[in-house]
Amino acid sequence: MKTITIKKYCSWSSVLCLLCALSVSCADLDYTEETTRDEEWTYNYFSDGIKNLVFDVYAQVYNNELETNSAYFLASATDEAQYALETGAVNNYVNGGWSPANPYANTWNKAYTAIADVNMYLEKLDETDISDWKYNSDYQNWMAQMELFPYELRFLRAYFYFELFKTYGDVPLVTTTLTNAQANNIHRTSADSIVKFIVDECDAIAPYLPESYVTEINAEVGRATRIAAYALKARTLLYAASPLHNPSGDKMKWGKAAEACKYILDNASTWGLKLSPYANLWGHDAFLNPEIIFGLGRGESNTFEMANYPIGVENGSSGNCPTQSLVDQYEYLDNGETFAQRYPGSIDLNEVDPYEGLDPRFALTVVKNGDEWPTNGAQKKVIETFKGGFNAAPKYGATSTGYYLRKYVDGSCVTTADNQTRRRHTWILFRLAEFYLDYAEAVFNTTGSANDATFGMTANEAINVLRKRADIQMPPFTEEGDEWVARYERERLVELAFENHRFWDVRRWKKGDKYFKNIQVANISSDLKLTRSTVNRQWDEKFNFYPIPQSEIKKNPNLTQNPGW
């Protein structure tokens, strides 16, 4: 009997070659009689053959910055957080440690591996035949799932092209399998053409995808849906309209983004989407949250908790520590004044509690000095981030910002040496709240006003939907002009904190010099005086795009390198 041998590939030519197929990471089909199942076998078996091929493409979605090391997601390469250990790999983004020879992220290989897999599967659809199993009790269920697979795969291919577009700009557009020679001579395709491909694909496949898999065979979660296709389209159009990709400021691009976002908002209720209490966006059952459009569900684990629990909590490693720059952006419930506006200088924490009355999203995102954390009874304690405190310097690996991370961290997980507990996690890729913000940004840039109702809802009305949620209740937006832009960027940071938006938002706005060079952190003395200090980071305009891996350019000089690299 032949078996499928799994091999990992790490080059442009190999991931696009004719024999490249699907696996848990990246794989090919090695057709030797002694070691492999043949191609015919693969396309005539459902669970161990066809379905595994499809789900191996999904596996590449999981194989991203969130999962390379659960402590290293991109917040600490932004003004949201500072990674506690200088040796953390995420620091490559801010200390000059990345280059074409050391591109750090695996986006190029990951995406083109998945794309090659999709192309191969779609070309071999005619070879899929499970008719020998027609008397199996699951046969009709298998056939129903197989009808969806091509549309799911096309969604995933479009998703990976979005990942490539936002990361590198112009990238090769490949929709067929290639030989090594073909792959090593291909040219980059314009970003506008990549965007058109993604949008056209989403429009073409959305009608054939279910709104939910709850009523589908096996009721599997985490698969591509109609709503996810429209969400991908809308986000792609927003990025395409942004200054990085739209230097001329073409308002038509912004208008297309506004229309795509509005379509989601108008149909949300029909699709069963609704805004969720902020605290319910993560946790053990978050994959069932009606606000999440597309998320990455993970099995029970406490790895993320170990990576981000404070030093002093058993097996805690501090991880991504929120900055004072982030805290300064939270507004007060009474008048919308920011933390930085109310307390621009030093603060005596013995005399005043500067956190009282802040936006409720602050307490759900950040662990501050004096909080009880984590929440599990075995480890709950009052957190001390003042100098000499139990969770503070001079302990090695303690927060350097004065804060610890709460959002996404499940405080019920016990991380002691004995009697550990584990919980499910869901990483959010698309959720409804994002599209209220995306819509507001697109409408403002199309009309030039935050109070223009050309699209049926003003930019301010869209943002105020989020701010009026029962668990938030923040003062409404009324601004216009530059004041509106500043407040919008602040609101987007607060609402989507630690959801891997900030890294890309600042780049597409071309505002890295403003937000990413000088990061504010809090220093709390042993007598509880809070002062700010500045952490200087490297920023260069070339960082708006990643470098094309040098190894790929050596194979194929036609790719050319991104500017500045």
List pLDDT tens digits, range 180-235.
999 999 999 999 999 999 999 999 999 999 999 877 776 677 889 999 999 999 99
Indicate the pLDDT class of residue 64, thresholds 50, 70 and 90.
low
pLDDT of residue 143: 73
CA torsion 524-529-534-535 (nearest 10°) is -10
- Domain membership flag for residue 24: yes
Phi, psi values for residue 296, rounded to 5°: -100, 105
Residue-wise pLDDT for 120-144, tens only, equals 889 887 677 777 667 777 777 767 7
The whole domain housing 26 covers 1-72+106-152+173-186
State the average pLDDT over residues 518-535: 98
State the average pLDDT over residues 533-553: 96
Asked whether residue 13 carries a pLDDT value surpassing 70, the answer given is: no
Q: For the chain, what is the domain count? A: 1
- Domain membership flag for residue 508: no
Pair 131, 44: CB distance under 8 Å: no
Give the residue among 538, 536, 561 at the shortest CA–CA distance from 549: 561
Asked whether residue 71 carries a pLDDT value surpassing 60, the answer given is: no
State the average pLDDT over residues 89-94: 88
- Domain membership flag for residue 491: no
Asked whether residue 56 carries a pLDDT value surpassing 70, the answer given is: yes
Segment (H or E) for 552: helix 550-555
Measured CA to CA, the distance from residue 195 to residue 186 in angstroms comes to 19
Name residue 257's amino acid: A
Write the secondary structure of 510-545 as one string of H (helix), E (strand) and C (coil): CCHHHHCCEEEEEEECCCCEEEEEEEECCCCHHHHC
Asked whether residue 549 carries a pLDDT value surpassing 60, the answer given is: yes
Asked whether residue 295 carries a pLDDT value surpassing 50, the answer given is: yes
Indicate the pLDDT class of residue 43, thresholds 50, 70 and 90.
low
- Domain membership flag for residue 113: yes
- Domain membership flag for residue 475: no
Residue-wise pLDDT for 233-279, tens only, equals 999 999 999 999 999 999 999 999 999 999 999 999 999 999 999 99
Asked whether residue 307 carries a pLDDT value surpassing 90, the answer given is: yes
pLDDT of residue 38: 56
pLDDT of residue 145: 81
Angle, CA of 446, 451 and 454, to the nearest 5°: 55
- Domain membership flag for residue 512: no
Structure tokens at 79: 């003004």
Dihedral class, residue 473 (left if φ above 0, else alpha if ψ from -120 to 50, else beta): left
- Domain membership flag for residue 311: no
- Domain membership flag for residue 45: yes
